Amino acid sequence: MIKNVLTIAGSDPSGGAGIQADLKSFAANGVYGMAVLTALTAQNTQGVTGVELVPPAFVKAQIAAVFADVRVDAVKIGMIATSEIATAVADALTEHRGIPIVLDPVMIAKGGAPLLQDDAMEALRTKLVPLATCVTPNLPEAARLLMTDEATTRDAMAEQARALTKLGPQAALVKGGHLTTDDSPDVLFKNAEVHWFEGHRTETRNTHGTGCTLSSALAAQLAKGLPAEAAVGKAKSYVAGAIGAADLLSVGQGHGPVHHFYSFWKDAT
């Protein structure tokens, strides 16, 4: 049976991040993708120039419409932008416990534009994080969620992953892409155990949407029934391949997208 996975996130019209990246990632990972919009953005590979928010009641109505008709096997949450939208999403999903929820706490776009209002942090921390099967922050996001300094070592990453689970999620995956090292390790903390996922750092500027892509790939693998450690391993391997093949694409003049379909477009030149 093909699994159905829902993303709740913002839109990127250039196709590299947001729901566009999520839907591509879902398809590449073998699940049927659905999308609830929280925000429209005017952006491209060079940055974000505008954001229009979807009314919270309509975000909730979209979620309700999907669940009323379609079996949902997992949910990925990305850009929620405001405390009101965070609350609407939390209220809607509280009615549907028991399915995997991956929370990617999107706060800042690749070009530096803020995608989360300051007053939304508390709602994100107290309403959405506790609902998550796994939360997937990068180092700056983990620091903001924990109201502490950004991790700069592996030990600090592992400690912050452990601390994040005290906020309520079943697991926390802290991504090490912001480390100033030659590698790019991620750490998963679940059931009092630490699991490291090693990664080679690929030299490319085309990394737009990597966080969206990883979290949606993880949601797809959890929907298929994989345990967290195996699901993270598959998702990280997929994203590494997508980054490694990113320079095959020619999209924009800034931070281009990763190549979501690198394993399928073998004959593309």
Active site residues: 175, 207, 209-212
95 burial via Cβ count (<10 Å: 0-12, 13-18, 19+): exposed
Which strand (E) or helix (H) includes residue 69? helix 56-69
Neighbouring CB atoms inside 10 A of 150's CB total 17
Q: What DSSP assignment string belongs to 197-239?
A: E--B----S--BTHHHHHHHHHHHHHHTT--HHHHHHHHHHHH
Phi, psi of 31 (to 5 degrees): -125, 160
Residue-by-residue DSSP string for 29-53 = TT-EEEEEEEEEEEEETTEEEEEEE
Q: Which residues of 38-59 are buried (b: 16+ CB within 10 A; e: fewer)?
A: bbbbebbbeebeebebbebeeb
How many CB atoms neighbour CB 203 within 10 A?
A: 5
The C-alpha atoms of residue 225 and residue 222 are separated, in whole angstroms, by 5
CA dist., res. 70 & res. 159, Å (int): 39
Query: Encoding tokens for residue 262?
Result: 């690198």
Distance separating alpha carbons of residues 176 and 194, to the nearest angstrom = 14
Angle between helices 56-69 and 83-94 (to 10 degrees): 20
